Amino acid sequence: MRIVDLRSDTITKPTPEMRAAMAAAEVGDDVFEDDPTVIRLEDKIAKLFRVEASLFVPSGTMGNQVCLHTHAHPGDELICDDESHIDWYEVGAPAALSGLQVRPVHAPGGVPDPAKIKAAIRPENIHHPKTGIIAMENTHLRSGGVVVPLEIIKQVVALAAEHGIKSHLDGARLWNAYAAGGGSLPDMVRGFDSVSVCLSKGLGAPIGSMILGTREFIHRARRTRKMFGGGMRQVGILAAAGIWAIDNQLPKMAEDHRRARTLADAIRGIDGVRVIPDPPPTNILVVDLSASKHDPNVVLKSLDAKGVRMLGFGPGRIRAVTHCDVNDEDVEYAAGVLHEVLVK
């Protein structure tokens, strides 16, 4: 039976060519800052985004939390949207690791309203926590891979700077925003005090994320990474995978977006079934079944029985994520199965 695994873009396997690059990587000790392949990756990322420096970390969550902790003053408030990855999927880390209080602000469709963020900034008052950091997410996972418009990014960054507040971008899938025409890589990160981008999602590397910032910030973040247990040794074998992924997978990423739209096309118009948003802007398909006769758990089991793997995504919803390990034939098969299950 054909298996088409659409649970996430984190489930990809290294290609033979990527494995060859990993096997051939020249390595050193990254804690001593002398792994040549890591240095090459960090220089490559800094040049791509036109920032002063970057730092390799094991995961996207660690990337976000290293940045927040490096900025943080315990007791300060972190403004982020109420469906952000930082608030939903990072195990309360801002509070547990950095003493930050999260102040969620609703961002309809994953796009923050600068006016609402401004209203959430605490006025100077001895009774109030200080607003210390504003965080954004692009693309926005829980809203279905929505690309945040460049003009909104500029407004939020300017707002943070105006009030002397640090700004952080969770750019785990920023590569997808770039592939969808959301702006150039430098434009989408310009002005942020820190940025994290993943290598292990759409790019298909097995492990790793990058932190971006000034040389001074990255110098301090390196210390935070060590404190969090992220200081790695001969990690050039993983950095080599990231380099290969950027060179070979980034140019193909728009194909993942096209395949997500193929899935949406297969179920559009089925009674009570809704795609959010429609069409999918990047590689994430969110299917809302709440107005249909279907139980999402039953749908997932029916799909799995036919070799198509998806995930539950909150009340009444399921999710599929296209990625570099699924081709056109896989997606056509998955689309047919999804349609068959939902019309029953």
Residue 145: CATH number of its domain: 3.40.640.10
Nearest to 324 by CA among 9, 86, 91, 94: 9
Q: Are residues 288 and 237 in the same domain?
A: no
Q: Are residues 38 and 175 in the same domain?
A: yes
Model-level pTM? 0.96
Per-residue pLDDT of the chain (344 residues; tens, 9 = 90+): 899 999 999 999 999 999 999 999 999 999 999 999 999 999 999 999 999 999 999 999 999 999 999 999 999 999 999 999 999 999 999 999 999 999 999 999 999 999 999 999 999 999 999 999 999 999 999 999 999 999 999 999 999 999 999 999 999 999 999 999 999 999 999 999 999 999 999 999 999 999 999 999 999 999 999 999 999 999 999 999 999 999 999 999 999 999 999 999 999 999 999 999 999 999 999 999 999 999 999 999 999 999 999 999 999 999 999 999 999 999 999 999 999 999 98
Where among 233, 248, 263 does a domain terminate?
Answer: 248
Q: Are residues 148 and 53 in the same domain?
A: yes
Q: How do residues 27-37 score in pLDDT, each as one tens digit? A: 999 999 999 99
Tokens encoding 241: 């995978």
Where among 202, 228, 248 does a domain terminate?
Answer: 248
Torsion of CA 47, 52, 55, 60, to 10 degrees: -80
Q: Are residues 310 and 242 in the same domain?
A: no
* Chain length of the chain: 344
Q: How many domains does the chain have?
A: 2
Where among 215, 248, 281 does a domain terminate?
Answer: 248
What separation in angstroms does the CA of 86 have from each of 63, 72, 100, 290?
A: 11, 15, 12, 26
Q: How do residues 136-180 score in pLDDT, each as one tens digit? A: 999 999 999 999 999 999 999 999 999 999 999 999 999 999 999
d(CA 122, CA 216): 28
What separation in angstroms does the CA of 259 have from each of 43, 64, 321?
A: 32, 29, 9
Give me the domain span that covers residue 265: 252-343
Q: Are residues 117 and 198 in the same domain?
A: yes
Q: Are residues 77 and 180 in the same domain?
A: yes
Residue 133: its H or E element: strand 131-137
Query: Which residues are CB-neighbours of 20 under 8 A, at least 6 positions away?
Result: none
For tokens 């873009």, what's the residue? 9
Q: Are residues 102 and 223 in the same domain?
A: yes
Taking each helix axis as running N to C, give the angle between helix 253-267 and helix 328-343, from 0 to 180 degrees, rounded to the nearest 10: 20
- For the beta carbon of residue 14, count every other beta carbon within 10 angstroms: 17
- For the beta carbon of residue 108, count every other beta carbon within 10 angstroms: 11
d(CA 79, CA 4): 38
Q: Are residues 75 and 114 in the same domain?
A: yes
d(CA 281, CA 258): 9
CATH of the domain at 261: 3.90.1150.10
Q: Are residues 185 and 235 in the same domain?
A: yes
The phi and psi torsions of 275 (rounded to 5 degrees) equal -95, 130
